[in-house]
């Protein structure tokens, strides 16, 4: 009897292990300044009903409101709550004391992305200016590895990323702001570039849809192994005090991520070999009067969230146990999901301790 049970456990463990193999490819996606409150509870009642922030409160309620937080969040982000919540992991619902915290003191974008990608909450004053980053990012590290060399690329809506990733030092390919895409292109990518060129009032942040479409066309044509896509309009609309557009952009981000996931799971190069890591660079004010802004003096600015889906990720869903993750752990986690150790300095934080896949627990039970 014991032998039969052991063989059954071993079989189940082997099958689970096959599903939980480490990622061969990773997509890192961020949407700037998007609050955990909307991720986990949907539209905020204090904001969606405020005509100072929403042009048509009645219509916004029809689209995004429900009395149940669980239904509201599904209305806003159906891919997150119909797919990631069932097949992946979601961290940062502070209603359950599950916390994801920014460690840097500034709680603004450049320090946030630096912490996210280098594993180090640099105390040296770094503001949102075109300053070359002195720290080494996990993207630069992976691009130096033989397995990933020339297979790492970044796309960003915000024009700062060539400086943040220090392409002057490492030559990492980055398509940022309204920069045109170099290299192998398709007819569609040429059309996207033409649309981009004809935009009259270009700001420091490109339309996210153009960033996404540029990335998608490149991915389909070149099949990179490590992709970073940084979207920016959630933060832009929040700073403008447009909660209606902030919600609409969150829904657009959810749709784009869902579309990209569908593509990777129907392309033989990526299918069952790819992990998505999705997060943000900083939070925002948690009080209704402060939601438009963020910095080290605004409560809620250091409160963020994290989502994971794909290879190496157990289907744990929304994590409701009390716990704490640091933004500075994300860089090492990205590397760990690929089977690499990222620790360029002693200050680099360790990877997040994710829930163990079933096969690991079964193996330990059989010993």
User: Strand, helix or coil at 225?
Assistant: coil
Percent of the chain whose pLDDT exceeds 90: 86
Decide if pLDDT at 142 tops 60: yes
> DSSP secondary structure string, 125-164?
---SS-----SPPHHHHHHHSTTTTT-EEEEESBTTHHHH
| Tokens, residue 141 | 């590290």
Buried b (16+ CB within 10 A) or exposed e, 208-241: bbbbbbbbbbbbeeeebbbbbbbbbbbbbbbeeb
User: Across the chain, what does the average pLDDT equal?
Assistant: 92
Position 14 confidence tier, pLDDT thresholds 50, 70, 90: very low
Position 9 confidence tier, pLDDT thresholds 50, 70, 90: very low
> DSSP secondary structure string, 159-212?
TTHHHHTTHHHH---EEETTPPPPSS--HHHHHHHHHHHT-SS--SB--HHHHH
**What average pLDDT score do residues 292-307 get?**
98
Would you state the pLDDT for residue 17? 35
- Do 316 and 89 touch, CB atoms closer than 8 A? yes
Strands 89-91 and 317-318, how do they pair? parallel
**What average pLDDT score do residues 252-277 get?**
98
Tell me the pLDDT tens digit for each residue of 184-215: 567 788 899 999 999 999 999 999 999 999 99
Domain 23-355 carries which CATH code?
Answer: 3.40.720.10
Distance between CA atoms of residues 269 and 280, nearest Å: 27
Instruction: Please measure the distance between the N-terminal and C-terminal CA atoms of the chain and give it in whole angstroms.
Output: 17
The pTM of the whole model exceeds 0.75: yes
Tell me the pLDDT tens digit for each residue of 268-282: 999 999 999 999 999
Tell me the pLDDT tens digit for each residue of 39-89: 999 999 999 999 999 999 999 999 999 999 999 999 999 999 999 999 999
Tell me the pLDDT tens digit for each residue of 122-137: 999 889 999 999 999 9
| Tokens, residue 312 | 């190496």
Would you state the pLDDT for residue 224? 98
**What average pLDDT score do residues 93-116 get?**
98
Would you state the pLDDT for residue 183? 66
Q: CA 325, 215, 186 angle in degrees (round to 5)? A: 165
């Amino acid at each position: 009897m014991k032998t039969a049970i052991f063989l059954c456990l071993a079989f189940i463990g082997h099958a689970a292990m096959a599903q939980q193999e480490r990622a061969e490819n990773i997509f890192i996606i961020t949407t700037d300044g998007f609050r955990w409150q909307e991720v986990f509870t949907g539209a905020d009642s204090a904001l969606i009903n405020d005509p100072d922030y929403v042009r048509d409160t009645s219509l916004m309620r029809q689209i995004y409101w429900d009395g149940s937080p669980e239904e509201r969040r599904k209305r806003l982000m159906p891919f997150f709550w119909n797919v990631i919540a069932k097949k992946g992991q979601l961290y940062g619902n502070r209603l359950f004391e599950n916390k994801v915290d920014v460690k840097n003191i500034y709680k603004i974008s450049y320090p946030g992305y630096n912490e996210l990608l280098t594993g180090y909450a640099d105390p040296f004053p770094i503001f949102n200016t075109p300053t070359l980053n002195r720290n080494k990012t996990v993207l630069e590290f992976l691009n130096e590895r033989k397995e990933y060399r020339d297979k790492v690329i970044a796309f960003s809506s915000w024009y700062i990323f060539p400086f943040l990733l220090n392409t002057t030092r490492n030559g990492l390919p980055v398509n940022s702001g309204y920069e045109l895409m170099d290299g192998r292109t398709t007819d569609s990518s040429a059309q996207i570039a033409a649309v981009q060129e004809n935009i009259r009032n270009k700001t420091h942040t490109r339309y996210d849809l153009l960033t996404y479409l540029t990335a998608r066309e490149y991915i389909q044509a070149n099949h990179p192994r490590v992709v970073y896509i940084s979207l920016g309009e959630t933060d832009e609309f929040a700073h403008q005090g447009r909660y209606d557009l902030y919600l609409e952009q969150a829904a657009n981000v959810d749709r784009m991520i869902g579309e990209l996931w569908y593509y990777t799971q129907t392309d033989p190069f990526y299918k069952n070999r790819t992990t998505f890591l999705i997060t943000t660079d900083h939070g925002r004010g948690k009080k209704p009067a402060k939601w438009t802004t963020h910095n080290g003096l605004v409560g809620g600015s250091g409160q963020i969230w994290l989502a994971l889906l794909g290879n190496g990720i157990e289907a744990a869903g929304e994590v409701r146990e009390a716990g704490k993750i640091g933004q500075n752990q994300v860089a090492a986690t990205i590397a760990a999901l690929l089977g690499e150790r990222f620790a360029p300095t002693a200050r680099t934080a360790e990877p997040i301790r994710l829930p163990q896949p079933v096969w690991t627990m079964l193996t330990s039970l059989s010993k």
